[in-house]
Amino acid sequence: MALSLAENAKIILEKRYLKKDGQGKVIEKPEDLFKRVSKTIADADKIFDPEVEIAETENAFHRMLTEFCFLPNSPTLMNAGRRLGQLAACFVLPVEDSMESIFETLKHAAMIHKSGGGTGFSFSKIRPKDDIVLSTAGISSGPLSFMKVYDMATETVKQGGTRRGANMGILRVDHPDIEAFIDVKNQQDRLNNFNISVAITDAFMGALEKDSDYDIINPRSGKIFKKLSAPYIFNKIVTSAWNSGEPGVLFIDRINEFNPTPNLGNIESTNPCGEQPLLPYESCTLGSINLAKMVSGGKVDLKKLKATIGHAIHFLDNVIEVNRYPLKKIEDMSKGNRKIGLGVMGFADLLIKLGIPYDSDEAVVRAEDIMSFIQKESKTASATLAKKRGNFSFYSKSRYDRPDTLFMRNATTTTIAPTGTISLLADTSSGIEPIFAVCHTRHVLDGKTLIQTHPLFVQLAKEHKFYSKQLIMDIAEKGSVQHLAEIPHQIKELFKTSHEISAQQHVRIQSAFQKHTDNAVSKTINFPNSASENEIRQAYIQAYQSGCKGLTIYRYGSRDKQVLNIGEKSPETLRPCSSEIVPRPRPERTSGMTQRITTGCGNLYVTVNYDEQGMCEVFAQMGKTGGCASSQIEAAGRLASLALRSGIKVDAIIKQLVGIRCPSPAWRNGGMVLSCPDAIAHVLKNVTHSELSETGGMLGVCPECGNVLVHAEGCMVCHSCGFSKCS
């Protein structure tokens, strides 16, 4: 049977997964990749029985992968059967309160980033800023200073890698530096290689409920440092998240309540997207079942789902064996606990196939039913493996240490992880998120765009006889169908996008999956731009009360708004209108796209670049001109760049440039380009139109393909090529 791949999946495989020679030429076919991965992972069976025949297992794995019923995390697809051989996506490393530990961990993190992994750290054990340092009679610089060192190191290491280094930075809510930590990413030029989360304790939530103070503890001495108002700190978290989407929150005591091996220590941190709590030196081995492939005849095919779960657990346990770990300590912990995380993708597509709106009570019930089934069957599959291979070696230190008859191969079996890239390979919706858009545009060569429409919408539109090319164009303008009268109500209900689902329903879906998941759930709770801080506050409370282990929120458009800070002054002390506007510096590294546009003087090449804060630079070059014309084009680009970095909105720049005439206008795509400045305006308008929609806030462009980045699954991701800032 021939491998069926969506066009976008072929592009992603060639760019990110297939083997290349020394010149960067692809030397592997997609079919070869899946054979390579299937054989490498099936070969692990021989470790336990050298005489075993693996052909049947290899075929089962290959069929599961090529039918896109299940896919492992990206490092496994990239590296299985290759020289690097590092198959895990994420790791947690300890940070103790000493220079030796801090920089030893930094060295280990660099090794992990070099191998393609992401890292999580808790900085909660580091003594606070200005605390005493007995060995030198000096004062401590505090955890934030060391986070900045880690951030710079990550930036340096990732320059030479195929996958970006990513970090999770965590600080307990009872640490003396918690206020500075909460505020640190309101200036969005800081810690750009980190997601940050506050570790919220039950004691804090109890004080919040009582509207009272709670204890701040100096981690060096273990003594009470001072008391702070819980409502005050909670409001700071809410305000910061409203402004920038960070920090996230982790309910750390709840996480440890479900720590499967408490005798090995407390869990202090998670991986970069927050779904995998881990002990120090543990790694995670993840994979996801494509729920969209588990529907047959309008029902969930439980027989197929059960078989897929069994093969997936076998596959993930084998990954632990054949993985080449970056550190011996990580290998020992990973093989000692054998944590795996089987999750899902395509949940939104499954609901559409079943005729269930995502924004409904029935969707919540279905989420619980499906994840309960996966949890139960994954435990059965793990126990079956344990009878053949033995319990995980730290079993005696686990919560499972009850009757002698209980078998368990893996300390955990389930995790709901982000599936940004692998869901694109499988041509399905991402993780447990709603659909991103019914239609969205993707940049292709020569500045043109390609409209991609959800295949299930096209299918239903044709079945109900309201499909037309004009309809698709109308949908593409907003990515939504809710404004179109010709679409039946029941179809509109099925195709609500992520920003059209209430925050309460987002949390309900997350909670439903969390009830039957060992580890945690990666999801973004989306809010409209108009959302109040109180709405975000209520989402946090709802998440805590409904059993979630953490929460990540994103208010549409929030990252476009910058708070101007002069020196060290806080925003509250600034004048409403400054007499002097100082542009932010041009960053050392930008990402962007170049578009060719025809003018009366020839082809003009316009480059638009972005940094973490959005559009920051425009410059243009004419292929065959020089002298005065060239200098004027350069001046227009420089002034536009200066305006962008001074906070001027791009629409205002477009308004000033559009319509400027020169003696040599030109026709292009049915419209007239009046001059080179007018051409620059056309490019800016085209970029802005395609990247600002009601389906997601513009967070800049993808550094790999030039398309829009959106906030989903706890991270900034690209729905065109699968790039993720967190992996």
Catalytically active residues are 271, 273, 275
In DSSP terms, 489 is beta-bridged to none
Number of neighbouring beta carbons within 10 Å of residue 658:
17
Angle among Cα 239, 244, 246 to the nearest 5 degrees reads: 80
C-alpha dist (Å) from residue 725 to 8, 117, 399, 610: 20, 12, 35, 14
* 133 phi/psi in degrees, rounded to 5: -120, 105
Q: What is the spatial distance between Cα 530 and Cα 602, in angstroms, rounded to a whole number?
A: 44
Whether the CB-CB separation of 425 and 287 falls below 8 Å is answered with no
DSSP for 32-85, written as a single string = HHHHHHHHHHHTTHHHH-TT---HHHHHHHHHHHHTTSEEE-HHHHHHTTSSS-
Whether the CB-CB separation of 408 and 382 falls below 8 Å is answered with yes
Q: For the stretch 186-223, what's the b/e string if a residue is b when 16 or more beta carbons lie within 10 angstroms of its beta carbon?
A: bebebbebbbbbbbbbeebbebbeeeeebebbbbbeee
Number of neighbouring beta carbons within 10 Å of residue 161:
12
587's CB contacts (< 8 A; 6+ apart) are: 189, 611, 612, 616
Expressed in angstroms, the distance from the first to the final Cα of the chain is 33
Helix H, strand E, coil C: the string for 260-299 is CCHHHCCCCEECCCCCCEECCCCEEEEEEEEHHHHEECCE
Q: What is the spatial distance between Cα 337 and Cα 280, in angstroms, rounded to a whole number?
A: 12
* Size of the chain, expressed as the number of residues it contains: 727
Whether the CB-CB separation of 259 and 318 falls below 8 Å is answered with no
Each as own residue / partner, the long-range contacts of residues 100-107 (CB below 8 Å, 24 or more positions apart, any chain) are 102/126, 102/146, 106/149, 106/150, 106/153
DSSP for 469-526, written as a single string = HHHHHHHHHHT-STT-TTS-HHHHHHT-BGGGS-HHHHHHHHHHHHTT-SS-B---EE
| Distance from chain centroid for Cα 314 | 26
What is the residue whose two structure tokens read 């760049």?
641
| Distance from chain centroid for Cα 607 | 27
Question: CA quadruple 403, 409, 414, 415: dihedral positive or negative?
Answer: positive
Question: What amino acid occupies position 213?
Answer: D
| Residue 562: burial class (beta carbons within 10 Å; 0-12, 13-18, 19+) | middle
Whether the CB-CB separation of 168 and 219 falls below 8 Å is answered with no
Angle among Cα 584, 589, 594 to the nearest 5 degrees reads: 100
Helix H, strand E, coil C: the string for 176-211 is CCHHHHHHHHHCCCCCCCEEEEEEECHHHHHHHHHC
Number of neighbouring beta carbons within 10 Å of residue 45:
20
98's CB contacts (< 8 A; 6+ apart) are: none
C-alpha dist (Å) from residue 609 to 221, 615, 644: 48, 6, 11
- Reported as type and span, the H/E element at residue 535 is helix 533-545
